[in-house]
Amino acid sequence: MLSFRDIEAARVRVRDSLFLTPCAESQTLSRLTGARVWLKLENLQMTGSFKERGAANRLATLGPDERAAGVITASAGNHGQALAYHGARLSLSVKVVMPEGTPLNKVQATRGFGAEVVLAGATYDDAAEHAARLRAADGRVYVHPFDDELVMAGQGTIGLELLEQNPYVEAVVVPIGGGGLAAGLAVAIKETNPRIKVYGVQTAALPSMARALEAGHPVVVPSAKTIADGIAVKRAGARTLEVVRRYVDDIALVDEEEIAEAILVLLEREKTVAEGAGAVGLAALLARRLPVDGKRVAVVLSGGNIDVNVVSRIIERGLVKTGRLARTRVVVPDVAGALAGVTRAVAAAGANIVEIRHDRAFAEAALGETVIELCLETRGFDHIAEVHAELAKVGVRPVEQGRESNR
């Protein structure tokens, strides 16, 4: 089993190859969660995630024949980027197998760091099976993303840094996919101070480690789509399970909306970009899933490699949920000046029109009427009500409200 000594040895190997990432206190997140919150910002590593630690440690232990053969791995994105980056640093040949649906930014970044990328399968597990076949054919060294003690030891160096940066921390919250990060960090924390709680967080869509703990052995959970693609693992590791069972105090599950909210909070309040997998720890705190009220809590923000298109959708959904983006449909007489009356009412309420659309042919309006659909920037649900009141003053009543402005 992974030992504290393994993690100390890993730190010596990787010390000069990685950034010492900040562990920053957030008064804003502390107010929102009821705990005293620090963020361990692993999204600031060169490739945007904690995965560099395990990759750098594993590559540093390769012998001459292994270095000549090159390495291969399967990855949902971050591990592949980390292996590609540190492989290039060491002049190693790297091949990475990724699921076909891997976000384009992660595929391009991995290729940009010099790796050969192969897209295969619908899930990480499919990609791993394909990588195993390729490895048997070309003799490369397989570097597992999580179920490898040298990889786990590299990830555990985060725990050593946390204890130095915040020696009075009372709990650490860490994302779990296959379990390499949680296992390594938990050994580093618990073997130093067993009173510190270590909590894992998984997406409810793919709770592979939680189900493995219940069953007593790794199990395969059904495939599912999740915004937390970096921890979308159907089967937890056997080695990681052994460590997690011994050292991790509990695992919380969060849903997709909670993860999206955490990403938006980090972006808007902390000016920090997190991918879905990186934000699950904060999601658990915001949803009050962990017993940490009033405690000093370090949250590992494990990565920031998120597709900008996903960020855009999250921002828009967040604006809708908070009443800062509203859709209103009104029926008006199809005569000159009707639209001007609507826009004057919106302006009087202090809202901004983002988009406007007329519908004469397909809307359920009487002959001689037209439906106008407005997309508005507003300050919240009370402001939306003010807009409706101004529209009522000019004889216009919103109808068939979209879900955005229903409460």
The sheet carrying 352-359 orders its strands as 325-333, 369-377, 352-359
Both 286 and 400 in one domain: the answer is no
Q: What b/e string do you get for 196-212 counting C-beta neighbours within 10 Å, with b at 16 or more?
A: bbbbbbbbbbbbbbbbb
Q: What integer pLDDT is reported at residue 359 of this predicted model?
A: 79
Both 176 and 96 in one domain: the answer is no
Q: Which residues contact 23 (CB under 8 A, 6 or more apart)?
A: 38, 39, 40, 41, 161, 162, 165, 166, 298
CA dist list (Å): 74 to 65, 337, 363:
21, 62, 51
Q: What integer pLDDT is reported at residue 147 of this predicted model?
A: 97
Both 202 and 291 in one domain: the answer is yes
Mean pLDDT of the chain: 94
Both 375 and 249 in one domain: the answer is no
| Mean pLDDT value across residues 263-280 | 97
Report pLDDT digits (tens) over 199-248: 999 999 999 999 999 999 999 999 999 999 999 999 999 999 999 999 99
Q: Which of 360, 306, 347, 293 is nearest to 37 (CA)?
A: 293
d(CA 70, CA 15): 23
Instruction: With cut-offs at 50, 70 and 90, classify the pLDDT of residue 334.
Output: confident
Report pLDDT digits (tens) over 92-133: 999 999 999 888 889 999 999 999 999 999 988 899 999 999
Residue 312 predicted with pLDDT over 70: yes
Both 172 and 236 in one domain: the answer is yes
Instruction: With cut-offs at 50, 70 and 90, classify the pLDDT of residue 400.
Output: low
Both 208 and 265 in one domain: the answer is yes
Q: What integer pLDDT is reported at residue 335 of this predicted model?
A: 87
pTM of this prediction exceeds 0.85: yes
User: Which are the catalytic amino acids?
Assistant: 51, 302
Q: Provide the residue range defining the domain that includes 271.
A: 4-50+148-306
Count of domains for the chain: 3
Q: What integer pLDDT is reported at residue 403 of this predicted model?
A: 38
d(CA 264, CA 273): 9
**Enclosing H/E stretch for 404:** none
Q: Which residues contact 326 (CB under 8 A, 6 or more apart)?
A: 320, 351, 375, 376, 378, 384, 387, 404, 405
d(CA 113, CA 274): 21
Tokens (6 digits) for 112: 């940009």
CATH number for position 163: 3.40.50.1100
